[in-house]
Amino acid sequence: MDISFLIISLLALAILFLLIKYYTPKIKGFIGENKASKALKRLNNEKYTVLNNIEFNIKGSTSQIDHVIVSNYGIFVIETKNYKGWILGYEKDKSWIQAIYKYRRKFYNPILQNQGHIYALKHVLKNYQYLRYYSIITFTKRATLKTKTYTDVVYINKLVKTIKKYDHYHINDQTKNDIVAIILTAKTNNRNKDKTLRVNSTMNKNISCPNCGGNLMERNGQYGIFFGCNNFPRCTYTRNKK
């Protein structure tokens, strides 16, 4: 066998191995997120607006959130995992353990990971200081959960039921739609756009607020449609729609 052919073959195999090692977790993660997205479609879209794969850049750091649900009952922030084997961990542990027979691997506590996502959302929605945020960690049925937590850690088939247990009305429809518009404006990625999403209060980027320079949003009020600043309540400028 030609030595140069052998070297090239070994290099090709090494590159293939590295590619598989790099992309396999991403593929598994995508599969898990897709399963959660399908489950979330069972929610009433008049009460819940589901946003998938939202990415923010906060103070130079990127925060990628699997699913954000803006509802009349608060903001649900969902982290999806597609691991197999036993999953062991407690609320405040820095790391959890994935155990498959004798194989054990540590991974960052998804509850702490999701706290970072909520921090990023709070930064984006800083003008809405009294919102309620609910953290939910969801696993596919490939895993066997052996966790003890106060935060909801559930299988995907229990995800919708878990969300619906939070049924205290907290956000009116107008505020809910405004929050959705702000999140969509602030996100830094455009992948996986939900083409079925409809937001009643839309951002008009061609109209600037004369008071603060923000964008004016089309809103429905007691006396009809008007434009309001997206920096409300910090800025209360309004203008009638002509």
pLDDT 10s digits, 30-89: 555 678 888 898 999 889 999 999 999 888 888 999 999 999 999 999 999 999 999 999
Bigger pLDDT: 191 vs 161: 161
Bigger pLDDT: 7 vs 179: 179
Residue for token digits 């052919």?
Answer: 5
Helices (H), 41-124: 110-124
Bigger pLDDT: 211 vs 131: 131
Bigger pLDDT: 241 vs 175: 175
Tell me what pLDDT residue 198 has. Answer: 42
Bigger pLDDT: 206 vs 227: 227
Whether the Cβ atoms of residue 180 and residue 62 lie closer than 8 Å to each other: no
Model confidence at 17: pLDDT above 80:
no
- Sequence-distant (≥ 6) Cβ neighbours of residue 112 within 8 angstroms: 94
Model confidence at 28: pLDDT above 60:
no
Model confidence at 210: pLDDT above 60:
yes
Token digits of residue 172:
């009116």
Give the end-to-end CA distance of the chain in Å, rounded to a whole number.
80
Local structure of 3: helix, strand or coil: helix
Token digits of residue 193:
């756009």
CA 214 to centroid of chain Cα atoms: 25
Tell me what pLDDT residue 190 has. Answer: 66
| Model-wide pTM > 0.85 | no
Q: What is the mean pLDDT of the chain?
A: 80
Cα–Cα distances in Å, from 29 out to 53, 83, 117? 11, 9, 17
